[in-house]
Chain A
Amino acid sequence: MTTTTQPIALAVVHQPQGGMRDRLRDWLPRLVLGPSFLLILFFVYGFNLWTLLLSFTNSKAFSNFNFIGWANYQKLWTWTFQSDPPSNWYTAIVNMGIFGGLYVVFCLALGLFLAILLDQKIRGEGVLRPLYLYPLALSFIVTGTAWKLFLDPRIGLEKAVHDLGWTSFHFDWVVNPRMMIYCVAIAGIWQTSGFVMAMFLAALRGIDSEILKAAQIDGASVYATYRRIIIPMMRPAFMSALIILTHMAIKSYDLVLSVTGKNPGGAAELPSTFMYSYTFTRNQMGVGSASAVIMLATIAAIMVPYLYSELKEKRQ
């Protein structure tokens, strides 16, 4: 087999060139990767360490190094269980669960659903696909503003439906503090599900037809085919989609503020808004840093095992 002799051929051909050039060639890939890796090491991990450091201080408006041990974390810990009336941190955690869960699950489900539908040899796919995809092009601020208008009971959906005759229609979620987070979720799902759909559509199209034909010959039902073959083969797509959705859910600071109008009743608090307000508005940088560390730890706890298992697997 040629593959086993190639390395030997390489060694034979390149040997007398001189150690320096060889070593440079060996190290070149790492040198190329190096800058990016170092940038990330410094600007991501370095800054995270800085945040970690600050979380043990009583920094207020500016960073200082008055270490107070675990005090900030203890504060957050007590707040985690304050549910009546809910502390801001408690609300943030609950909302993250609601919003994050709904956002990720519905984007994945809706994206998969639409992708499967579109994959059925539809005419007009070229028109439909951009229609589902375009919301991602809008910034969070634009999306939030549009949905706040759309869902406003006075001039939006509720009024429109009333005018069209159905006067008992009620949809005041966007002004109801308890339901606001669901409105944020709706806006978020609308924005990103098209992107997930595109990813899944591509993955579906990439599935080797031979495997499917084999399954068909074996007499597998449609449902089983989807469940046992197609969806498992889309795992890489799931991974990418999950990473992107998680990233967007964490980042969703602008979206929350635009849809809810500055968080009345504190009901639309999310860890990102909590962190921002404690660090910058309330001038309690120590507490804000501690909340950021907890956010990161939670994400790490979920994503690291997931990434580990995905990356460890052999290619199918």
Chain B
Amino acid sequence: MKLRSILMAGVMTAGALSLASGASAADTKDVQMLHWWTSGGEAAAVNVIREALAKQGYGWKDVPVAGGGGGAAMTTLKAMVAAGNPPTASQILGYYAMDYSEAGKLADITPLATKGDWAKVIPTALQKFTTVDGKWGAVPVNIHSVNWIWVNKALMEKIGGAEPKNFDELIALLDKAKKAGVIPLALGGQPWQEATMFDSVVTSTGGVDFYKKAFIDLDANALKSDTMKKSFDNLAKLRDYLDPNYAGRDWNLATAMVIKGDALLQVMGDWAKGEFKNANKEAGKDYLCYRFPGTDGSVLYNTDMFAFFQVSADRQAAQTALADTTMSPDVQIDFNLIKGSAPARMDVSDAKFDACGKKAIADIKAANAKGTFLGSMAQNYAQPPAIATAYYDVVTKFLHGEIKTSDEAVKQLIAAIDSAK
């Protein structure tokens, strides 16, 4: 009868599926890559790597899991590793890579590192994440920094503004914009964006040494100092220049406001460059890139890394190829040209990069030498995720008014960091 045959059909389908699955393991000439670069511009950058691998005869099995910041992707990664079925490599952020390394899940690519002399060409600060106990398990693909402001050139000229050199000048510039009737500051009201902006505010208010003491060293005196209080005060000042609909807005929509000319500037990492590029805007001609006022000379970085997992012997050739290719100068240049970031290798030529890119590359070299190349707290490169997210909590609550005073914010910050340790 009808019902029974439907049920039988279903069970048989399941059976057929299972028998037909056959060889479902990844082909050994394939690189299986987990990432969250699902947007057009980002995907185009990864394509550079894919094509370079294709030339060497390796295929690509894409495992994209969207969700900015990689939240869902990291869950998928945890599941894959727990199942004993890790990908060849995964896009990953520093502390997560360290966690996997400490748990013994990463492959050892030290031979490659020694051969390529990577320790010399990658900024020292990054090696904390790529190398645990002397063993290399991950490589950086790029270096982004977050202490930038992106300015619409036409609007800037219209209001007669000039590059602000410190925080007070920034406020003055924003005032000019407000009087001219444009939205001075474009912000997407999501915790990570607000925290990213706060990184720059802290560095600008207290200087890069203060940033280092407070966020890298978690020095208690720095955290409860008046400078920290002043930083929150400054953040509150910036709030006056936002438009009323900023809550929940995606970062790229805020960038679009600057591109279109609805807003004067945005405080954002240099992945914003990708947006300008997509809209066919040129650095120096349509938009200006300045270091956040008061932070010139330091680079608050975050980097996208590839972590390599322990895989079976037949997959290791592809894995080695991926590591080598990613670190090769050509790929480093081409990838970052599209993505808008700076190469992770400090020894590649900057000829092809535009004005902002050249500045980024130069800044990195200088900051690395001076010791002002520091991880961005908001981007999970100063502290492990537990503390970084505690940081987000306080900053976003302060900005949205749930924490009402700067004193309270300082107290909450200390408490949040303590409880997340």
Contact = CB atoms under 8 A, between A and B. Distances in A.
* Contact flag (A, B; Cβ within 8 A): yes
Interface of A: 60-62, 75, 85-86, 88, 153-154, 172, 174-177, 180, 260-267, 277, 280-284
Interface string B234-261: 0000000000111111100000000000
Contacts of A177: 247, 400, 402
B201 interface: no
Interface stretch (B10-18, B146-154, B170-178, B385-393): B385-393
Contact of A85 (B190, B192, B245, B408): B408
B397 A85 contact: yes
A236 to B, nearest CB: 24
A62 B105 CA distance: 11
Contact of B245 (A86, A175, A180): A175
Given A86-B402, A262-B190, A265-B247, A62 B103 contact: yes
A177 B246 CA distance: 11
Contact of B420 (A61, A261, A282): A282
B385 A265 contact: no
- The prevalent SS among residues of B at the interface is helix
A85 B103 contact: no
Given A62-B103, A264-B190, A265-B399, 9 more contacts: A88-B393, A265-B189, A265-B191, A265-B402, A266-B191, A266-B396, A267-B402, A277-B389, A283-B386
Contact of A62 (B74, B99, B399, B401): B99
B213 interface: no
Contacts of B167: none
Given A85-B402, A85-B412, A265-B402, A281 B248 contact: no
Contacts of A88: 393
Closest 3 CB pairs of A and B: A265-B400, A261-B248, A61-B99
Interface of B: 68, 71, 74-75, 78, 95-96, 99-100, 103, 189-192, 194, 244-250, 384-386, 389, 393, 396-397, 399-404, 408, 412, 419-420
Contacts of B402: 85-86, 177, 265-267
Give the most central of B103, B384, B402, B403: most A CB within 10 Å: B402
Contacts of A153: 245
A284 B420 contact: yes
Contacts of B389: 277, 281-282
Contact of A261 (B71, B194, B250, B384): B250
A75 B419 CA distance: 8
B403 A260 contact: no
B156 to A, nearest CB: 24
Contact of B385 (A86, A174, A261, A283): A283
17 contacts: A61-B103, A62-B99, A75-B419, A85-B402, A85-B404, A88-B393, A175-B244, A175-B245, A260-B248, A261-B249, A261-B250, A262-B68, A262-B191, A264-B189, A264-B248, A277-B71, A283-B384
Give the most central of A85, A277, A284: most B CB within 10 Å: A85
Nearest to B408: A85
- The prevalent SS among residues of A at the interface is loop
Contacts of A265: 189, 191, 247, 396-397, 399-402
B99 A263 contact: no
Contact of B74 (A175, A280, A284): A280
A269 B127 CA distance: 36
A60 B400 contact: no
B386 A282 contact: yes
B248 A172 contact: no
Contacts of A175: 189, 244-249
Contacts of A62: 78, 99, 103
A174 B248 contact: yes
Contacts of B74: 280-281
Contacts of A176: 247
Contacts of B189: 175, 264-265
A11 B393 CA distance: 71
B245 to A, nearest CB: 5
Give the most central of A172, A261, A262: most B CB within 10 Å: A262
A267 B68 CA distance: 19
A93 to B, nearest CB: 16
A283 B70 CA distance: 13
Contacts of B75: 280
Contacts of B95: 283
Given A85-B403, A172-B244, A175-B246, A283 B99 contact: yes
B331 to A, nearest CB: 30
A260 B247 CA distance: 9
Contacts of A154: 245
Contacts of A174: 248
A263 B247 CA distance: 9
B403 A280 contact: no
Give the most central of A180, A264, A283: most B CB within 10 Å: A264
A62 B96 CA distance: 11
B68 to A, nearest CB: 8
A277 B412 CA distance: 20
A266 B397 contact: yes
Given A277-B389, A280-B71, A281-B71, A261 B191 contact: no
Nearest to B411: A85
Give the most central of A60, A177, A265, A280: most B CB within 10 Å: A265
